[in-house]
């Protein structure tokens, strides 16, 4: 069984983006190994335990970067930082243990093609639950491992990233069973041909629109360890201003975008720091979108206030009349769940304990509606769906991936964000502090990519698109269908197993 744990673990480590060796198809070994564990286990308990072990090891290899923000930037000791990725991985591993457990019991009653299809529905349900329960953290989205190969992820425009992961899981289990069952062989060939054929067709045939909207991204590469030090605030503004002026002179963009919390002060206050930005916007005659913490006073007498992680739109006159407040906050980083019972403060120190934004609308500028996604909001399909429903014809992801250092996380984050462009059929503009900044076209191709850990700008013409994908139109009932099919299948299996047990007794 330990060999199967190794197969699943290595499949995840190699299949998901990493700085050493990334080969997307290897990720199929992850669900394949988990299903194999379920089929080989002598009991449901052993299937769960070995599946959990494989899932925990796989997730640890994908989450190891958490040590950096917790220890280096959070200032917490190593004995607290080191267990963090392992503890999160152990929790995420429960999902994969349940998958192996389910395959073990399902294989007692069904085999071949039906078992492959059930694996697909179960995996899709697993990822949807992973993205919603306990705040959600769908970082190990199977289909995102293929984002580096745009033709392989076009199915997300029809069924979304989570259901496409289910398709890949069904393909993996079909590959496992194809030597034994002819139906599994036909399914493996059919799914492979469908993924490749539809993928190449959509990539080649999709109209990315008239590229007439010039956008500039400014990547400041500001030292995260000094960013919040007041002594460096003026220097930060000067760095962004210099890069912006150079890019405006060379490319004449219609909007300049800076990263999440690029301005580490309250932009809403009338301070010399804000006035410097107002002067820049007026002199360049260009609107600027920038991240900055914001506050809202809730009680003047007690001076109580709420904090927000905000993206401001400063127009060419220096006015900030539109903004977006981050809705999906990072637990233990931007807010503290169970604060009364947790014996430590935030794992990552920043401006404070944030509140989530509500009822956000796209930022409208020159006839273009910019749907904002701040930081890891780009890993949640529903947030991009919501912005497009509200009229967004371009998606904008601002982030500060400096927290991650030179690890696997920036690449994995970019892959996850890429899936939002494919799902919604929109250009995705991604601006980060240290990289990876990029322009992603509506079929997931990297039209332009910046370099990591460089202070630079990146400019490109994009298009504002209004047509909606199949996924966007069916998203509402697609979830219910997947959950319903999964529950019905396992419900039938449980009923049949109990009935057979009663007959044998």
355, 375, 431, 479: which is the annotated catalytic residue?
A: 375
Task: Please state, in angstroms and rounded to a whole number, the distance separating the CA atoms of residues 229 and 227.
Answer: 6
Instruction: Confirm if 15 and 412 have CB atoms less than 8 A apart.
Output: no
Tell me which H or E stretch contains 395. strand 394-399
Annotation marks residue 46 as catalytic: no
Residue spans of alpha helices (H) in 297-345: none
Closest CA to 203 of 164, 147, 161, 165: 147
Annotation marks residue 260 as catalytic: yes
Instruction: Confirm if 267 and 274 have CB atoms less than 8 A apart.
Output: yes
Annotation marks residue 446 as catalytic: no
DSSP 222: -
What are residue 461's DSSP bridge partners? 214
**For residue 114, is it left (φ>0), alpha (ψ between -120 and 50) or beta?**
alpha
254, 326, 355, 479: which is the annotated catalytic residue?
A: 326
Task: Please state, in angstroms and rounded to a whole number, the distance separating the CA atoms of residues 488 and 490.
Answer: 6
Question: What is the 3-class SS of 235-290, one letter each residue?
Answer: HHHHHHHHHHHHHHHHHCCCEEECCCCCCCCCCCCCCHHHHHHHHHHHHHCCCEEE
Query: How distant, in Å, are the alpha carbons of 64, 81, 270, 429 from that of 336?
Result: 21, 16, 30, 30
Residue spans of alpha helices (H) in 25-110: 29-40, 44-63, 67, 78-81, 83-106
Query: How distant, in Å, are the alpha carbons of 15, 187, 189, 395, 435 from that of 193?
Result: 20, 10, 6, 31, 35
Other Cβ atoms within 10 Å of 204 Cβ, number? 9
Task: Please state, in angstroms and rounded to a whole number, the distance separating the CA atoms of residues 11 and 8.
Answer: 5
62, 84, 127, 260: which is the annotated catalytic residue?
A: 260
Buried b (16+ CB within 10 A) or exposed e, 349-382: ebbeebbebeebbbbebeebbbbbbbbbbbbbbb
Task: Please state, in angstroms and rounded to a whole number, the distance separating the CA atoms of residues 176 and 249.
Answer: 57
Catalytic residue annotation = 260, 326, 375
């Amino acid at each position: 069984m330990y060999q199967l744990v190794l197969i699943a673990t290595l499949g995840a480590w190699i299949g998901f983006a990493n700085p050493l060796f990334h080969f997307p198809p290897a990720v199929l070994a992850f669900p394949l190994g988990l299903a194999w564990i379920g089929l080989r286990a002598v009991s449901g308990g052993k299937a769960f335990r070995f599946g959990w072990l494989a899932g925990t090891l796989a997730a640890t290899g994908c989450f190891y970067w958490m040590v950096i923000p917790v220890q280096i930037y959070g200032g917490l000791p190593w004995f607290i930082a080191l267990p963090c990725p392992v503890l999160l991985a152990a929790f995420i591993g429960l999902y994969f243990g349940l998958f192996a457990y389910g395959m073990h019991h399902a294989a007692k009653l069904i085999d071949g093609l039906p078992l492959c299809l059930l694996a697909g529905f179960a995996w899709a349900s697993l990822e949807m639950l992973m993205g919603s329960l306990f705040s959600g953290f769908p970082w190990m989205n199977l289909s995102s491992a293929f984002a580096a190969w745009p033709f392989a992820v076009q199915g997300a425009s029809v069924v979304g990233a989570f259901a496409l992961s289910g398709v890949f899981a069904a393909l993996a289990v079909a590959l496992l069973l194809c030597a034994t069952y002819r139906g599994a062989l036909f399914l493996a060939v059919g799914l492979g041909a469908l993924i490749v054929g539809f993928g190449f067709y959509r990539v080649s045939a999709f109209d990315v629109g008239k590229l007439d909207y010039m956008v500039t991204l400014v990547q400041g590469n500001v030292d995260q360890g000094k960013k919040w030090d007041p002594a460096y605030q003026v220097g930060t503004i000067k760095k962004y201003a210099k890069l912006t002026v150079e890019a405006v002179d060379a490319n004449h963009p219609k909007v300049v975008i800076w990263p999440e919390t690029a301005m580490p002060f309250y932009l809403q206050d009338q301070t010399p720091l804000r006035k410097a930005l107002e002067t820049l916007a007026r002199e360049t005659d260009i609107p600027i979108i920038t991240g900055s913490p914001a506050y809202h006073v809730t009680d003047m007498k007690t001076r109580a206030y709420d904090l927000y992680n905000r993206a401001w739109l400063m127009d060419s006159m220096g006015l900030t009349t539109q903004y977006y407040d981050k809705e999906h906050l990072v637990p233990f980083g931007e807010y503290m769940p169970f604060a009364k019972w947790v014996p430590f403060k935030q794992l990552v120190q920043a401006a404070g304990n944030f509140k989530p934004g509500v009822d956000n609308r796209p930022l409208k500028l020159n006839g273009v509606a910019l749907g904002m996604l701040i930081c890891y909001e780009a890993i949640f399909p529903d947030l991009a769906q919501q912005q497009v429903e509200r009229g967004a014809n371009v998606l904008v992801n601002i982030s500060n991936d400096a927290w991650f250092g030179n690890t696997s996380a920036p690449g994995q984050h970019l892959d996850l964000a890429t899936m939002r462009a494919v799902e919604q059929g929109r250009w995705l503009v991604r601006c980060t502090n240290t990289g990876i900044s990029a322009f992603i076209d509506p079929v997931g191709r990297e039209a332009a990519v910046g370099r990591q850990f460089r202070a630079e700008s990146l400019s490109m013409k994009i298009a504002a698109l209004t047509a909606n994908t199949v996924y966007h139109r069916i998203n509402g009932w697609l979830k219910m269908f997947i959950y319903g099919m999964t529950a019905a299948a396992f419900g039938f299996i449980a009923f049949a197993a109990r009935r057979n047990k009663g007959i044998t007794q």
